[in-house]
Amino acid sequence: MTLLSRSSTAPESGAAADPATGGESRSSSFVSYVRAYVALSKPRVIELLLITTIPVMFVAAKGVPPLGVAVATLVFGTMSAASANAINCYIDRDIDRAMRRTRRRPTAMQQVTPRGTMVYGLVMAVLSTVGFVVFVNWLAAALSLFAIAFYIFVYTLLLKRRTAQNVVWGGIAGCMPVLIGWAAITERLDWAPFILFLVVFFWTPPHTWALAMRYREDYAAANVPMLPVVASDRRVMLECVLYSWATVVVSLLLWPIADTTLLYPAAAGVLGAVLLVQAHRLHRQVRSGVSGAKLKTMGFFHLSNAYLALLFVAVTIDPLLANAVG
């Protein structure tokens, strides 16, 4: 059995091969093959994980981290995330077929066989773990393996289909890159990475619920009890406000814990204020009776993406600034 499904590569019955275009067809098939496996890795999710991994290495190194360790951490961290995401696609292929947002994933479209998906995920898990051990250190390898196992067994298999708290506790897997990045540089853990861990932890639920409100019908059709499916808009937006406040408050704790310059708290304060204003605005709209598409929660979703990215840019720049003025 090939790793790609037969339907995505086999010629139509009775069609004769054209020698003039045979090479081009094989090339096209190979490109499609590669694209399918890249899509299994969920590259947009990996981008977000890398946004949090790189800055914490700058903080841990108190400046520019060693290039070799940084590159190895990013490479094997990408492979680790690809592993978890691919196995998630294998387990959730029935859900993915039922949802508009995910029905074009390779497993849902049968571009990749279930067996191929699982083999790819397991191979990536082994290679990433071995790579961390050989080129980084044991602690980073253990944290990476924990993240894979947690995402698969706790979030995907235990929480996702059973509780509206799925993304709250399941989001722990998405917080692990900050610990991995710190451990890669220092070979230990400290309070600073745990503060950033909590920033991502509290940021994840409102970010995800904003998206889930846009695709509420999808989750309902797939029997996934996301909070917007099982709770009122008012409750969802209240929790978004509370988690946003927790995110901003915890983000400011990095200032005394990591002894940052004034750049970081200034940036965290401004970005946090923008996030909170938007969260409170949506909450007020819900309380006044606005619901459904009129809420425009995708605006909050995109804003929260920008918030996290810019906050971690400030995390990256701060130690460089401290070195420049010190």
The residues, ordered by sequence, that sit 6+ positions from 243 with a Cβ below 8 Å of its Cβ are 202, 203, 205, 206
Per-residue confidence band for 23, with pLDDT thresholds at 50, 70 and 90? low
- Total-model pTM: 0.89
pLDDT given at position 230: 96
pLDDT of amino acid 27: 59
Using DSSP's 3-state secondary structure scheme, residue 2 falls into: coil
pLDDT digits (tens, 9 = 90+) for 57-70: 999 999 999 999 99
Question: Which DSSP category does 290 fall into?
Answer: -
Task: Tell the CATH topology of 190-326.
Answer: Four Helix Bundle (Hemerythrin (Met), subunit A) (1.20.120)
Q: Is residue 25's pLDDT more than 80?
A: no
Q: Is 112 helix (H, G, I), strand (E, B) or coil?
A: strand
144 alpha-carbon distance from chain centroid: 14
The answer to whether residues 37 and 112 touch, using CB atoms and an 8 Å cutoff, is yes
- Could you tell me if 170 and 155 are in contact, meaning their C-beta atoms sit under 8 angstroms apart? yes
**What pLDDT is recorded for position 298?**
94
Residue 6 has pLDDT above 70, yes or no: no
Joined together, the tokens standing for residue 272 give: 């946090």
Helix ranges (DSSP H) in the chain:
22-40, 43-61, 67-91, 93-98, 114-135, 138-149, 166-170, 172-186, 191-214, 216-221, 227-230, 233-252, 254-258, 263-287, 297-325
- One-letter amino acid for residue 244 of the chain: S
Q: What is the pLDDT of residue 148?
A: 97
Closest to 242 measured CA to CA, from 209, 279, 272: 279
SS3 of 182-242: the string is HHHHHCCCCHHHHHHHHHHHHHHHHHHHHHHHHCHHHHHHCCCCCHHHHCCHHHHHHHHHH
Q: Where in the chain is the domain with CATH 1.20.120?
A: 190-326
Does the domain made of 38-186 have the CATH classification 1.10.357.140? yes
Where do you find CATH 1.10.357.140 in the chain?
A: 38-186
129-175 pLDDT tens trace: 999 999 999 999 999 999 999 999 999 999 999 999 999 999 999 99
Pick from 281, 284, 272, 267: nearest CA to 247: 272
Using a pLDDT cut of 90, give the percent of the chain over it.
77
User: Which of the given ranges, 95-104, 215-224, 238-247, has the highest pLDDT on average?
Assistant: 238-247
Q: Are 226 and 164 in contact (CB under 8 A)?
A: yes
User: Are the C-beta atoms of 197 and 230 separated by less than 8 Å?
Assistant: no
| Least confident piece of the model among 49-53, 85-89, 123-127, 203-207 | 49-53
CB-CB contact of 291 with 216 (8 Å)? no
